[in-house]
Amino acid sequence: MSPNKSNNYCCGGGGGFLQSGFKEQRLAYGKIKDDQIQTTGATYCIAGCHNCHAQIHELSHHFGGNYNVVHFWTILALSLGILGPNERTYLGDELKDVAVFHPESALY
């Protein structure tokens, strides 16, 4: 993604803006981030915080991004095989059933 690191673009959802009531302005500002993500051709965007997740998820739907947005912890838990069935909402179909583990369904 370019630019990246400390020069990366803000999604426009932080600092209370997500709940500010200025949806049209928030989406207009967020278009910069959505364009940046869509340019990569990625099918997933990993968000580090809840505000970014909610904003980027909405941007993807609003601007037709066709990419999934997941929390960092979702990918971490999925890789460890401990992501519960109810925590798979934002995963695409290709990942919804990967390494499913849930203590209540484990055979002992």
pLDDT digits (tens, 9 = 90+) for 35-89: 999 999 999 999 989 999 999 999 999 999 999 999 999 999 998 888 888 888 9
Nearest Cα to Cα of residue 32 among 5, 6, 63, 57 = 63
Residue 86 is part of which domain span?
A: 5-105
pTM of the model as a whole: 0.85
User: What is the number of domains present in the chain?
Assistant: 1
